[in-house]
A = this chain, B = another copy of it.
Amino acid sequence: MSDSLSTIATTLRDAKTIAVASHVRPDGDSIGSIVALGRSLALAGKTVHIISEDEVPGNLTFLPGTELIQRADGQALDIDVAVALDTATKPRLGDRVNGCMGKAPLLVNIDHHGTNPQYGHLNFIDISYPATGEIVYELLSHHGFPMDDGIRQNLFAAISTDTGSFQYDNTSPRTHRIVAEMMEQGLDTAELARSLYQSHPLRRTLLLKALLNEMQLTCDGRIASWALTMETQKAVQMEPGDTEGLIDSLRTIEGVIAAVIFEDMPDGKIRISARSKDPRLDVSKVCAEFGGGGHRMAAGARMPGPIATAEARFFDSLQNEIKRLS
């Protein structure tokens, strides 16, 4: 059972010092959510620490307030409440973030991942929200917390990126109504869309070019995949955030029902990103076989390298799932 947003709002109102954090390798929803909540609580007079295990991806640093995010140093903070946003398991916060939050007498856990085991003292987990940012919007707007244009920009970034610009199944009438409300309050969503989607560094275009030149279609054209090698990463001087959305170029191909990217990691592991285009194909199930997880239509895992070995093992399992469909 989830706690109500009212209960969480009361807890936050009563607190003086609050830390807000999200998951490792942050994305639009995690960054947007922690900055929006952190900024609102600061405007409400709280002392706020917005912390992150990893750095803000370059494609999100344009968002106002992201400069306030501190890299977690692992030292326990003297806080009344810690808030974890968009983080399906406690370890996903990262070791240093967990260190920083370790002495908090109260942990609030707000998330939209169905697999979240409710690890907080107060938990609001609701998979009907396409983005944690949409939950944060309701928390702030329905419970009298301050909201300004910068906060709205972060909430929009959270909602827009986690819905694939309102294209994914999780998008609801509520999502569109919230965006309409924020626009009526002055939010320039087109300017944000330009920054989020219409302005990639040339590096990213070169990555897409490599993807299109190197991609493989297998399993009778139902699987599209790409091996993003360390060589390619070095050649284009890849930075965090550069790969965001690249996988959609594989998924869009007609006939493809599973898109997979195998990415060389600096530690020798292979990061798998998988997407399904057929609601009957659950890629999180395949990823779970290798210790990963996620959503039905979008999931991930890490496997031992090299890429060729990871590919063979992952495809074996994925092809079995695909065979079950027919």
Q: How far is the CA of A181 from the CA of B177 in the complex (A)?
A: 9
CB of A166 to closest CB in B, whole Å: 5
* Contact A254 B180, CB 8 Å, known A169-B190, A205-B212, A249-B208: no
Residues of chain B contacted by A164 (CB below 8 angstroms): 193
Per-position binary interface string of chain A over residues 150-167, scored 1 when its CB falls under 8 Å from any chain B CB and 0 otherwise? 000000000000001111
A231 at the B interface (CB under 8 A) = no
Partner of A173, one of B169, B172, B183, B193: B183
Considering the complex, which residues of chain A in the window 207-252 have a beta carbon less than 8 Å from any beta carbon of chain B? 208-209, 212-213, 217, 221, 248-249, 251-252
* Contact A205 B249, CB 8 Å, known A176-B183, A180-B173, A277-B194: yes
Per-position binary interface string of chain A over residues 182-204, scored 1 when its CB falls under 8 Å from any chain B CB and 0 otherwise? 01100001100110011111101
A77 at the B interface (CB under 8 A) = no
Task: Tell me the number of copies of this protein.
Answer: 2
Q: B194 touching A183 by the CB < 8 A rule?
A: no
Q: B176 touching A277 by the CB < 8 A rule?
A: no
A171 at the B interface (CB under 8 A) = yes
Q: A254 touching B201 by the CB < 8 A rule?
A: yes
Q: How far is the CA of A194 from the CA of B276 in the complex (A)?
A: 11
A168 at the B interface (CB under 8 A) = yes
A179 at the B interface (CB under 8 A) = yes
* Contact A171 B190, CB 8 Å, known A179-B176, A212-B205, A252-B205: yes
Which residue on chain B has the smallest CB distance to residue A210?
A: B212
Q: How far is the CA of A176 from the CA of B171 in the complex (A)?
A: 12
Q: Which residues of A contact B (CB under 8 A)?
A: 164-174, 176-177, 179-181, 183-184, 189-190, 193-194, 197-202, 204-205, 208-209, 212-213, 217, 221, 248-249, 251-255, 277
> Which 7 A/B pairs are nearest by Cβ-Cβ distance?
A167-B193, A173-B180, A209-B212, A176-B180, A169-B190, A176-B176, A173-B183
